Structure 1
Amino acid sequence: MEEKNSKQVRKTGRKPKIDPAVHRYSINLNAEDNAKFLALFDQSGISVKAHFITACIFQKTVKTVKIDMNGVEYHERLTRLFSQFRGIGTNYNQIVKLLYRNFSEKKASAYLHKLEKQTLELVIISQKIIQLTEEFEAKYLKKE
C-alpha cells in the first residue's frame, strides 16, 4: 500500500497570482505632506491608497470627481417640490369634480373663481422657481 502522508495537491483556497507584487517600499511623511497627500487621495475617488500611489508614480491619469453638495441638495428639494406640484394637480381635479357634484352651478363657479386666483399665484411662483433654477444652473452647475 502506498503511504497516505505523501503530498497531495489540494484544489481548495485562493488561486495564486501569476505575477504577485512582493516588492514593498516605505515612505515617511511629515504632518503637512500627509495632509496634502490625504487631500489628493480624497479628491481622486480611488478607494485604495496603494493604487493611488502607484498611479501617481507611474503617471497614470487620476480622475478627480468633485461633488457639489449644494447642487445635490438643490436637486433633491426641487424634486420634492415637483412631486408636490403633481399632488396639487391631482387634488385640483378632484376638487373640481366635487364642486360640480355637491354644489349648485352658481356656487361651484364662485368657488372655482377663488381656486383660479390661487392657481394664478401658483403659476407666478412656479415661474420664479424656473427663473431661479436657470440662474443657479448658470452660476454653479457649469458643464465643461
Structure 2
Amino acid sequence: MNDHKNYYRNKGGRKPKAAPCVHRYVFRLNEEDNSKFLSLFEVSGMDNKAKFITSVLFSKEIKTVKIDKGTVDFYMRLTSFYSQFRAVGVNYNQVVKLLYTHFTEKKAAAFLYKLERHTAELSVLCRKIIELANEFTNGNIEK
C-alpha cells in the first residue's frame, strides 16, 4: 500500500523534454572570425547563440530587425502631439458650450470670433505638421 502512495506522489522539478538536446559540439574561432560571428549574432536579434548557430547551420530563416532611433523619436513626439491636439478639441467643445450658457448671444459671438481666429492659426499649424510628417515618411521610404 505504501508503494501505491509513492507512485502518485508529486516529485517536483521540470517535466522532461520530449526531444532533449544531448549532443554537443565545440569549435574555436580566431579574433577576426569571432568578431564576424558576434556582429552577425547582434544583427540577427536572437538572444541565444546556440539557437543562432543551429539556425545558420540548417539554413533556417533568420529575421533581423533594425530600429531607427530618429523614426522612433519622431513617432513618439507625433503621438504626444496628437493626444494634446485631441485635448484641445475637447476643451474647444467645452468652451463653446460654456459661452452659450453663461453669456448673452452677442458677447458669446464676440468671444467665438476670437476663438475662431486662433482655430484658423491652429489649422495652418496642423497643415504644416502634416506636410512635415509626409516629408519624413517619404524620406524614410526612399532610403
- Give TM class, smaller chain: 0.7 to 0.9
Distance in 2, Cα, partners of 1:19 & 1:82: 51
The aligned runs of 1:45-124 (5 Å cut-off) are: 45-124=45-124
Alpha-carbon distance in 1 for matches of 2:114, 2:31: 67
Q: Are 1:35 and 2:35 an aligned pair?
A: yes
Letter in 2 for 1:40: L
Instruction: Deviation per CA, 1:119-144: give whole Å up to 9, x if none.
Output: 001001111111111111111146xx
Unaligned regions of 5+ residues in structure 1, if any?
Answer: none
Give the match's secondary structure for 1:20.
coil
Distance 2:120 2:80 in 1: 21
Identify the residue that residue 22 of structure 1 maps to in structure 2.
22
TM-score (norm 2): 0.79
State the alpha-carbon separation in 2 of the partners of residues 11 and 97 from structure 1. 68
Deviating more after overlay: 111-120 vs 92-101: 92-101
**19-28 vs 75-84, greater mean Cα deviation:** 19-28
> How many angstroms does 1:88 deviate by?
0.6
Question: Could you say which structure has the higher helix fraction?
Answer: 2
User: 1:19 and 1:90 mapped to 2: Cα distance?
Assistant: 59
Take 1:104 and 1:40, find their aligned partners in 2: how far apart are those partners?
72
SS at match of 2:23: coil
Structure 2 portions without partners, runs of 5+: none
Q: Which structure would you say has the larger RCO, counting Cα contacts within 8 Å and 6 or more residues apart?
A: 1
Residue identity matched to 2:29: L
After superposition, the C-alpha distances for 1:60-86 in whole angstroms (9 at most, x for unaligned) are 221111122322222222111111111
- Change beyond 3 A, Cα 1:91–1:30: same
Residues 45 and 65, structure 1, Cα contact 8 Å, conserved in 2: yes
In 1, the alpha carbon distance for the partners of 2:110 and 2:18 equals 83
Provide the aligned length of Structure 1 versus Structure 2: 136
Distance in 2 separating the partners of 1:15 and 1:130: 56
Amino acid at match of 2:22: V
For residues 2-21 of structure 1, the aligned pairs below 5 Å read 12=11, 13-21=13-21
Q: Deviations over 1:22-79 (max 9, x none)?
A: 3322233344433332221122122211000111122222111112232222222211
